[in-house]
Amino acid sequence: MVNKRGVSLVPVGAAILLLSLGIAFVASAGGNEQQLCDVGADYALGVEHYSEAIRLHTEVVRKYRDNALAHYHLGFAEGMMGNRTEEVREYRRAAALGLRNWDLFLNVGLAQLENGDLDAATHSLRRAALLGEDHPESHFNLALVCERRGLLADAEREMLASLQLNPGHLMRGTR
C-alpha cells in the first residue's frame, strides 16, 4: 500500500500497530508510561530492522528493567535474528513481569519447539490457547506439538478447535 506520493505505508502501519498494542497493554495491565516502548525501537521492529530493534529495545530495558512489553519486543527481535536462547529468556522475563498476552505464550512455545523442548512448548502453547481461545493459530500449533508427543486425542481436539475458528486455514496452505 502506498500513499499519493508513492511512499509505502506498510512500515508506518506496522509501527502504529506495535504502538497501539503497547498502549492497549498499559490500559489492560494498569501500567504506567514505563510500559510503553520507545517509538523508534518499535518502528525498527515493525520495519524488520531487527539488529537495530535489538539495540534500541536493549536500551529501553536497561532504563526500565520492569518494562514487560519491551522485554517481549526484545525477545521477538532476538528470535527473528535466530537467537533462540535470548528470545526465550526475554519472553520469560516479560511473563515474570506480568505480561499475559496469548501471543507471548504462542511465541515462546514456538521457540521452545524449535529448541526441541516439547514439554515446555506444550505448556506454553496450552497457555496461549487458554488466553487466546479465539485465535486459531494457538490451537493449531498446540495440535502439532501434541501430535509429535503422541497425544493424539489432544492433537485432534486442538486441530478441530483451530478449524472451527478458521475453517479455511488448512485449505489456504495447500493451494
**145, 118 contact by CB (below 8 A):** yes
**CA distance linking residue 129 with residue 137, whole number of Å:** 8
The tens digit of pLDDT for each residue in 119-137 reads 999 999 999 999 988 999 9
pLDDT score at 16: 43
Per the DSSP assignment, residues forming a β-bridge with 8 are: 2
For residues 57 and 77, is the Cβ–Cβ distance under 8 A? yes
Mean pLDDT of the chain: 82
Q: What is the pLDDT of residue 35?
A: 66
**Annotation: CATH topology of 1-100:** 1.25.40
Query: How confident is the model over 2-38, as pLDDT tens digits?
Result: 445 454 444 444 444 444 444 444 433 434 444 678 8
Within this chain, domains 1-100 and 101-175 share the same CATH topology: yes
Distance CA 140, CA 157 (A): 10
Angstrom distances, CA of residue 153 to CA of 4, 112, 129, 158? 53, 22, 16, 9
pTM of the predicted structure, to 2 decimals: 0.73
Rounded average pLDDT over 75-88: 94
Task: Evaluate whether 145 touches 162 at the Cβ level (below 8 Å).
Answer: no
Q: CATH fold of 101-175, please?
A: 1.25.40
Domain segments of the chain as ranges: 1-100, 101-175
Scanning the structure block, which residue is given the C-alpha cell 504502538? 19
